[in-house]
A and B are shown apart, each in its own frame.
Chain A
């Protein structure tokens, strides 16, 4: 009887944590591959796997809604659009075309500064423990988005609208 409880306890601890480690390793490996592989289509495919692993991480945090939205928007729409654009671009998957530019030094400096910044911010931040029971209830998210956070929400949609209009203006310039 005791052993039986132990196995159950181990299962209930191991499964979510194992999932986290597997997903984290997949995410990091694919994230590195996205910026290192020469072939752009491969890079986009690795980006898709990376985004899926992030969605998996959301599920381990019980944030199923975020995970599904992540898959829906990033994998289902953004990655597909990337692929579409890459395939329409002339010779982009050709090995002879250079895939990077000669700004390695600048890139290293900027990314390490950014990394340190994020690292220290995360370390210095005091995290609030919120004891709201986690439910998959998306009506709560809806109420928060259209109630307490309505201003930032509308602001974001305004930014998207500006981007949309900008794209149309740039696209029409040739005519």
Chain B
């Protein structure tokens, strides 16, 4: 299992192997290495997104059952562990229905526009040293920018369904995302100031001695609230509010198109948790001061799923808030606190 600890070396060895193979068979090395890297990265990310969504949906239903003092899914397979697999098959086999008044192309493209940015964000996630598809210099900005494209898909879905509830869901989503995106970007500026870099691997390395959750507790709270809102999850799930909008922007979607919205929600949730683990919990580093040696990728996944558990816990604990409360909270509480955090961080940095 040594290779799990030294992933940088693993990646380098594979690359050298490929290059020497190319030289032996007279193939262009740059071309082959980049094609192989692309294919491997895309298949791993694609597979991970679907398997992760299935697991997390099951976990969510089980945790919801536990919180509400019931068993959750129990019928399919032992303890219901095959429930989400059965659900996925059911969704894939369902008939594709399009409302007569729907705007055809927009309706068709909306799930794609939601899903594609969610998958794009995985490109910069730092799984383990060396195991990053592309360690961009502006990785943090990239995650935020890509995450903000998805909302266009939600608005497209809401508008093209030709249904008032869906339209309301789309409008709510646009207002919500614009407000909370601001709070989210402000909350991470403190970390960027401390780390001096937007590169996610640099931010992790700078946390070797002390996690930023200790240095930036206010930013952590702001970030997690904004992340829950960006993922459209309860208590901020106003765009899909079942009891008011009969699930809002995806009311008219069924079968595989609905499955894509579902997949995108869980893919986004993983990205938000992974970024949170990277920024505040030290990413692939172990806990400072505790001599527990685990492979970096295990640390990363453990922290990410811990934050995901927090997300699920929120959903089954807090009631949904009203639209005016949502906007007021975003603009009058989170935004000023974000500015305060930047000011305080700057002040402390100048004094120390």
Which A residues are within 8 Å of any B CB, using their own CB? 1, 3-5, 7-8, 11-12, 39, 41-42, 45, 48, 64-65, 68-69, 71-72, 75-77, 79-81, 83-84, 87-88, 93, 135-139
**Nearest CB to that of A137 among chain B residues?**
B137
Determine which of B26, B142, B145, B196 lies in contact with A76 in the assembled complex, contact meaning CB atoms within 8 Å. B145
Docked-complex contact A72 and B141, CB < 8 angstroms? yes
Docked-complex contact B30 and A8, CB < 8 angstroms? yes
Given the contacts A68-B141, A68-B145, A81-B178, A87 and B171 also touching, CB distance less than 8 Å: yes
Most buried by A among B26, B155, B181: B155
**Nearest CB to that of A41 among chain B residues?**
B159
Contacts of B31 in A (CB 8 A): 7-8, 11
Given the contacts A42-B106, A45-B106, A71-B149, A76 and B30 also touching, CB distance less than 8 Å: no
Does residue B198 face the partner (Cβ distance < 8 Å to A)? Answer: yes
Docked-complex contact B28 and A80, CB < 8 angstroms? no
Interface of chain B: mostly helix, strand, loop or mixed: helix
Does residue B29 face the partner (Cβ distance < 8 Å to A)? Answer: yes
Docked-complex contact A1 and B145, CB < 8 angstroms? no
Contacts of B106 in A (CB 8 A): 41-42, 45
Which B residues are within 8 Å of any A CB, using their own CB? 22, 26-31, 103, 106, 136-138, 141-142, 144-146, 148-149, 151-152, 155-156, 159, 167, 170-171, 174-175, 177-178, 181, 196, 198
Docked-complex contact B138 and A68, CB < 8 angstroms? yes
**Contacts A4-B28, A77-B148, A139-B196 supplied; 14 other A-B pairs, CB < 8 Å:** A4-B26, A5-B28, A8-B28, A41-B106, A41-B159, A65-B141, A71-B146, A79-B152, A83-B152, A87-B171, A135-B137, A136-B136, A136-B137, A137-B137
**Nearest CB to that of A86 among chain B residues?**
B159
Docked-complex contact B138 and A136, CB < 8 angstroms? yes
Contacts of A1 in B (CB 8 A): 26
**Nearest CB to that of A64 among chain B residues?**
B138
Determine which of A12, A39, A64 lies in contact with B137 in the assembled complex, contact meaning CB atoms within 8 Å. A64
Docked-complex contact B136 and A64, CB < 8 angstroms? yes
A-B contact pairs, 19 of them (CB 8 A): A4-B27, A5-B28, A11-B28, A12-B30, A39-B103, A45-B152, A45-B156, A64-B136, A68-B138, A68-B142, A71-B149, A72-B148, A77-B148, A80-B177, A83-B152, A84-B178, A136-B138, A138-B137, A138-B138
Contacts of B30 in A (CB 8 A): 8, 11-12
**Nearest CB to that of B182 among chain A residues?**
A77
A79 to B181, CA, bound (A): 14
A80 to B175, CA, bound (A): 8
Contacts of B152 in A (CB 8 A): 45, 48, 75, 79-80, 83
